[in-house]
């Protein structure tokens, strides 16, 4: 049976279906929605995509994505330049920025060590981190990596790599999330929270 949509629309659907969270069916719905709201949505979206494609670059200092290099965060004079927060990916950087809890600057590793996925230390932005941490005014490197086996293996590797430098290396605490009920937490989180308890 012939496809009811033309090749241009088919191509749009195929490209939309490659986005995370979208399959062929939802891509078809999104394409139809865009076509129906051409002026309000499709035109501005196409313009925004063209601008982003043209201007977005990876920050040569921290690995964040922005339209300027160095990025807005690296150029922010209010941030403490002696603190680096190491994250796995830009999405983690955005999550920490939403929390507004980071006083320093970031370093995006671009992944974590994983034997199964074949990610080795040389595939990550580790030499650049060591170079940044070697700066004379550097005080602290905070390892904000996921509390997974791969994330913590990477954290230990980074601790070894930074061992010779006069910087304090810290990591995020592991424990009970806000709103978490002990009864529903896994045993691992509970035992980590108990080990890392603080004075109240």
Residue placing its CB nearer to another protein in the complex, 105 or 171: 171
Q: Closest distance between another protein and the C-beta of residue 20, in Å?
A: 6
Return residues touching another protein (CB under 8 A): 20-21, 114-117, 120-121, 147-150, 152-153, 156-157, 159-160, 174, 186-189, 191-192, 195
Residue placing its CB nearer to another protein in the complex, 10 or 159: 159
Q: Closest distance between another protein and the C-beta of residue 152, in Å?
A: 5
Residue placing its CB nearer to another protein in the complex, 61 or 157: 157
Q: Supply 110's token pair.
A: 């671009």
Residue placing its CB nearer to another protein in the complex, 135 or 173: 173
Q: Closest distance between another protein and the C-beta of residue 66, in Å?
A: 26
How would you list the strands of the sheet with 105-108, edge to edge? Answer: 105-108, 83-87, 140-143, 168-171
Q: Closest distance between another protein and the C-beta of residue 153, in Å?
A: 4
């Amino acid at each position: 049976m012939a496809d009811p949509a033309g090749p241009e629309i088919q191509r749009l659907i195929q490209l939309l279906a490659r986005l995370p969270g979208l399959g062929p069916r939802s891509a078809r719905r999104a394409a139809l929605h865009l076509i129906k709201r051409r002026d309000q949505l499709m035109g501005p979206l196409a313009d925004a995509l063209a601008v982003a494609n043209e201007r977005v670059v990876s920050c040569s200092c921290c690995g964040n994505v922005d339209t300027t290099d160095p990025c807005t965060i690296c150029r922010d004079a209010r941030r403490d330049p002696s603190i680096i927060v190491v994250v796995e990916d830009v999405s983690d950087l955005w999550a920490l920025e939403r929390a507004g809890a980071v006083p320093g600057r970031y370093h995006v590793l671009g992944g974590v060590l994983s034997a199964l996925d074949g990610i080795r230390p040389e595939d990550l932005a580790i030499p650049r981190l060591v170079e940044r941490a070697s700066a004379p005014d550097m005080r602290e490197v905070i390892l904000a990596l996921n509390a997974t086996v791969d994330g913590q293996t990477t954290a230990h590797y980074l601790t070894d790599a930074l061992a010779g430098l006069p910087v304090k290396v810290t990591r995020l605490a592991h424990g009970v999330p806000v709103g978490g009920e002990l009864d529903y937490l896994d045993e691992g989180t509970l035992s980590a929270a108990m080990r890392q308890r603080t004075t109240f």
